[in-house]
Amino acid sequence: MKTITRWALTLLAGLLLFAAWPVSTLTLLIFIGWIPLLTLTALPIKKTTFFWHIFIAMLIWNTGTTWWIWNSTDVGTIAAITANSLLMCLPWLGYRTFLKKYGKRIGYCALLFFWMSFEYIHLNWQISWPWLSLGNVFSLHPNWVQWYEYTGIGGGTLLIVVTNIFLYECILEIRKPAAERKLTKPLIALTTMVTFVVGYAFYFQNRAVTKATQTLEVVIVQPNINPYSKFTTDSMAAQIERLVALSRQQLNSNTRLLVWPETAMSAGDWQENTRSNPLYQPVFELLTQFPKLSLLSGIEMFVPYGAEKKTNSARSDGRGGYYDAMNAAMMANAVTNPQYYYKSKLVPGVETLPDFLLVLAPLFEQFGGTSGGYGKSATSAVLPTADGGGQIAPIICYESIYGEYVGTYVKKGANLLAIITNDGWWGNTPGHKQHLNMARLRAIETRKWIVRSANTGISAIINNQGEIVDSRPWDTQAAIKYTVPLHPGTTMYVSYGDLIYKAILQLAIISLIWHLWNWMKQRWQKK
C-alpha cells in the first residue's frame, strides 16, 4: 500500500505540472503541482527511492511539455529531456537533506533557494534550457503578471514555490484534530493574499502608461517555407521571390521597417558578398524602390578570420584560414552597407556545444544542415532603421526566452523588439505556441512592443502589456502591416535584471557553506 501511495504521488505531481503548462488553460494547477512532492519528501523512504520518484515526476513533466522537440531530433530529445529531468532532481535532494537535518522551516527555505538557484544557473550556463522555468507558466495570462516589469519570471517562480508550500502546510493543519489546529498562519496568509490582489488590481487599473513618442509603420512577412528543404540551392531563388512578393502586398511609401524571419536569406555566402550575391539581387532591388525602407532579415552566412582561429567554433577553410558560420540578423537599406548581429544565445546541442563536449564536434549536426556549431556575438546589439527613428532589437529565435538578455537591448536604446524565428522544425505542436506566448512576457518586462516574424507562424504584433493585437495563423503565407508605437525608457527589471534570482543564489551558497561547516564540525567532534 505504501508503494502504491508513493507512485500515486509521483504520477500526480508530474501530471499536475504538465496539465498546468501552456498551452493548457489549467494554469492554476501550478499552485498545487508541488504538493504531492512535498508529501513524498515527508515519507520515511531511502534517498535512492526518493530520487527515483522525483526523477519520474520530473520526467513526466518534461516529456509532456517538450515532447515536440522529437520532430526535429530524436536522439537529442531523449538526451535533453533525460538530462533536464535529472538536473531538476538536485534541488529536491538538497531540500530533503536540509529537511531531515534541520526541520521544516529551514527545509522550506532550502527548497526555495535551491530551486531558484537551479533556474538561474540553467538560464546562464553553456547547456542552458530555461523553457520550464516556473515563471514562464503565466505566459497565457499576461494580465496576471504585469508586475514582471519589476521582477521578471523570477517573481513568478517565487510566488509559485511559496504558494505550494503554504497550501501544503494548510492541508497538514486541516488534517489535524480540530483542537490542535492553528488558524493563525492561514488567516495571516489569507489577509496577505487579499491585500496583494486588491493592491495589484488598484495599482494596475490606475497605472499611467508611458506614452509613445513616435510610431513606426512595420510590415512583417510569414513566408511559410518548409524548413527541412529551405537550405537547398534550387529552392533559394523561389524563396526570395516569395518573400519579396509577400512584402510588396503590404509595402507603401510610409513603411519604414520590413521584417523577415530567421534565416530567410539562406544562401550561406561570405558576409562581404551579401550585396553582390545574385540570389539576393531582388532583395536590394526592392529596397531601391522604397528608399526610406529598412529590412531586418535573418541571414545565414560566413565570417572569415584569416589565419587565426579566433573562436572555439571556428572551422578550417582547407587553405590555412578559419571562419565561422553565423545565424545572423541583417539590417539593410538602399544606401548604406548592411549592419549585422550574430545570434548570441545559441541552442545547446543544436547550434553549439559546451566546451567540455567539443571533442564531439565532428559528430555534431545543427538544424541548418551544416556540421559544427555557429559563431556568435558576445553581446546584444541595436540596429537602427535608415531614418534613425526605430532602434530595433534583433532577437533571433531562442533568444526571446531570456528576459535579462532581452533587457540588454533596451539598455542600449532599443525602442522596438523584433523577434525573427523559424519554429517550423517542430511542426504544428505546442512548441511554436509556447514560444510565441513566452514573447508576451518579454513585452511586459521591457514595456516595449514586439513585432514577431515566424517562418511558418505564428507571426504577431504584441503590445507592451503582453497582449497579441494582430497575428497570422500557423501554416499560412501572410504579411502583416501595423503602425507600432515606440515607447522610450526602461523598466525596473531592465535596469536590474534577474535581481531576485541573484539574491537567492547568494542565499543558497551561504546555506550550503553553513551546511558544509556543520558537517565538518560533526566529523571533527567524532574524531
**47-66 vs 74-102: helix crossing angle, rounded to 10:** 140
Specify if 197 maps to a domain. no
Do the beta carbons of residue 478 and residue 440 sit within 8 Å?
A: no
Asked if pLDDT for residue 362 goes beyond 60, the answer is no
pLDDT band at 370 (very low <50, low <70, confident <90, very high): very low
| Count of structural domains, the chain | 2
Specify if 193 maps to a domain. no
Specify if 225 maps to a domain. yes
Q: Are strands 315-316 and 339-342 parallel, antiparallel or unpaired?
A: unpaired
Q: What number of other Cβ atoms are within 10 A of residue 357's Cβ?
A: 15
Query: To the nearest 10°, the Cα dihedral for 39, 45, 51, 52?
Result: -100
pLDDT-wise least confident of 213-217, 284-288, 398-402, 432-436: 213-217
Specify if 145 maps to a domain. yes
Structure-model confidence comparison of residues 225 and 190, the more confident one: 225
Give percent of the chain with pLDDT exceeding 90: 70
Do the beta carbons of residue 450 and residue 462 sit within 8 Å?
A: yes
Q: Are residues 222 and 154 in the same domain?
A: no
Do the beta carbons of residue 450 and residue 443 sit within 8 Å?
A: yes
Whole-number pLDDT of residue 311: 83
Do the beta carbons of residue 437 and residue 400 sit within 8 Å?
A: no
What average pLDDT does range 422-430 have in this prediction? Answer: 89
Specify if 287 maps to a domain. yes
pLDDT, tens only, 338-355: 999 999 998 887 777 766
pLDDT band at 267 (very low <50, low <70, confident <90, very high): confident
Q: Are residues 491 and 516 in the same domain?
A: no
Whole-number pLDDT of residue 101: 93
Cell of 376: 556568435
Q: Are residues 400 and 354 in the same domain?
A: yes
pLDDT, tens only, 497-521: 999 999 999 999 999 999 999 888 8
- The length of the chain in residues reads 527
Specify if 141 maps to a domain. yes
| Structural domain boundaries, residue 368 | 214-496
Specify if 204 maps to a domain. no
What average pLDDT does range 405-429 have in this prediction? Answer: 94
Whole-number pLDDT of residue 16: 97
Q: Are residues 410 and 507 in the same domain?
A: no
Residue 496 one-letter amino acid = Y
pLDDT band at 233 (very low <50, low <70, confident <90, very high): low
Nearest to 14 by CA among 42, 33, 41: 33
Specify if 196 maps to a domain. no
Asked if pLDDT for residue 183 goes beyond 80, the answer is no
For cell 505531481, what's the residue? 13
pLDDT band at 359 (very low <50, low <70, confident <90, very high): low
Kindly write down the DSSP assignment for every residue of 407-470, as one continuous string. HHHHHTT-SEEEEEE-GGGG-SSHHHHHHHHHHHHHHHHHT--EEEEESSS-EEEE-TTS-EEE
Asked if pLDDT for residue 259 goes beyond 60, the answer is yes
Q: Are residues 253 and 371 in the same domain?
A: yes
Give the chain's mean pLDDT.
Answer: 89
Q: Are residues 505 and 463 in the same domain?
A: no
Asked if pLDDT for residue 209 goes beyond 80, the answer is no
Question: Dihedrals φ, ψ of 80, to 5°?
Answer: -65, -45
Whole-number pLDDT of residue 327: 93
Q: Are residues 54 and 171 in the same domain?
A: yes
Q: What number of other Cβ atoms are within 10 A of residue 452's Cβ?
A: 28
pLDDT band at 176 (very low <50, low <70, confident <90, very high): confident
pLDDT, tens only, 67-93: 998 887 778 789 889 999 999 999 999
Q: Name the burial class of residue 151, with classes exposed (0-12), middle (13-18) and buried (19+) by CB atoms within 10 angstroms of its CB.
A: buried
Kindly write down the DSSP assignment for every residue of 378-394, as one continuous string. SS---EE-TTS--EEEE
Query: Tell me, what CATH number does 251's domain have?
Result: 3.60.110.10
Do the beta carbons of residue 114 and residue 89 sit within 8 Å?
A: no
Q: Are residues 138 and 249 in the same domain?
A: no
Structure-model confidence comparison of residues 359 and 272, the more confident one: 272
Give, in order, the Cα–Cα distances in Å from 159 to each of 19, 192, 437. 19, 13, 20
At 497 the three-state DSSP class reads coil
Nearest to 476 by CA among 212, 242, 146: 242
Whole-number pLDDT of residue 355: 65
Dist CA 232 CA 249 (whole Å): 26
Q: Are residues 370 and 503 in the same domain?
A: no
Q: What number of other Cβ atoms are within 10 A of residue 25's Cβ?
A: 10
Q: Are residues 165 and 274 in the same domain?
A: no
Dist CA 49 CA 39 (whole Å): 14
Give, in order, the Cα–Cα distances in Å from 524 to each of 16, 277, 512, 519, 527. 45, 72, 18, 9, 5
pLDDT band at 164 (very low <50, low <70, confident <90, very high): very high
Give, in order, the Cα–Cα distances in Å from 421 to each of 222, 223, 279, 344, 425. 10, 12, 21, 14, 11
Q: Are residues 444 and 516 in the same domain?
A: no
The maximal CA–CA distance of the chain, rounded, in angstroms, is: 85
Asked if pLDDT for residue 369 goes beyond 50, the answer is no
Q: Which residues pair with 461 in a beta bridge?
A: 451, 470
Dist CA 127 CA 84 (whole Å): 10
Q: CB neighbours of 472 closer than 8 A, spacing ≥ 6?
A: 222, 457, 458, 459, 460, 478, 480
Asked if pLDDT for residue 97 goes beyond 90, the answer is yes
Whole-number pLDDT of residue 381: 95
Q: CB neighbours of 126 closer than 8 A, spacing ≥ 6?
A: 348, 352, 354, 355
Q: CB neighbours of 410 closer than 8 A, spacing ≥ 6?
A: 393, 446, 448, 490, 491, 494
Q: Are residues 377 and 285 in the same domain?
A: yes
Which residues of 201-314 form beta strands (DSSP E)?
A: 214-222, 257-259, 265-270, 294-306
